[in-house]
Chains A and B, each alone.
Chain A
């Protein structure tokens, strides 16, 4: 029993360490996972409610800006392209300061290619983002 107790005690210590390690590990893994999701979710389409329900807008994640010099585009399978070029821009006309939008009634659920030039707020460079998504 003593030996057994000792084993149990060892096991208990080990398990405690394991629990502690997993407790630390889990948030780290979560951080890695959420980081990937942030990368993938730089842009998302929304359809503002109210009288704007015929509009589709693109929203950038925190820390990202959408270039106004190259307005975002929705590319449809049939070759049609809709530019999301409406919306307030900064004084220099470089970036949108509100989500750029286009008038686009209907088409909910339709698959489109969303394309935009995205620049990090604290970066000095831009990258092209293109992702397949569904119209909201």
Chain B
């Protein structure tokens, strides 16, 4: 009993250490993807199989595209919506990647995922078609109106990017606006080129 205060002190210090660890972890998660992506940029996570998608409504393609149709190609999935500022500002980079690398084995697939319910107009195919024309997008886009593909990939932010290698495995993931020539544009370009250089 005489040592109770000391025990209490030790317990308090232990709790402090645990709390500090938890706070550090929380901060790391919140400060976010920049940290995670930086780590991934230098030490990519182990590749893992990419989930399939089965969206039925597509634009800029004559038939729905399946993940298995893209075996042997590097695939960049872009989760976006035309009402998202960060998404539309990123489109010039993606259009440029498409023009630079399509013939070398890159397929960009837009996964158009609404933020709001249908009353906001994001679910409307015509509105999406007009957005694709406005931004000069030639690559295929799927309407993900029920967010099924969004959920399968565990996406949380607009815009998000998932880069698959030629074997259909997820190699890089990230979220956030990119501009032609900025750090993230160069980072994604480097990643694309690295995967294109790999053997099938």
Contact = CB atoms under 8 A, between A and B. Distances in A.
Interface in A68-86: 69-70, 73, 75, 81
Given A70-B115, A119-B86, A126-B85, A10 B23 contact: no
Contact of B158 (A22, A94, A115, A126): A126
Contacts of A29: 19
Most-contacted residue by chain B among A18, A35, A81, A115 (CB, 10 A): A18
Interface residues of B, number: 39
Given A18-B12, A126-B157, A32 B22 contact: yes
A21 B13 contact: yes
Contacts of A11: 2, 4-6
Interface residues of A, number: 35
Interface in B1-38: 2-9, 12-13, 15-16, 19-20, 22-23, 26, 32-33
Contacts of B168: none
Interface string A3-29: 000010011111101100110110011
Nearest to B179: A124
Nearest to B120: A70
Smallest CB-CB A-B distances: 4 pairs = A14-B5, A21-B12, A124-B176, A14-B6
A47 B85 CA distance: 28
B194 interface: no
A24 B19 CA distance: 11
Contacts of A41: none
A15 to B, nearest CB: 4
B5 A15 contact: yes
B85 A17 contact: no
Contacts of B157: 125-127
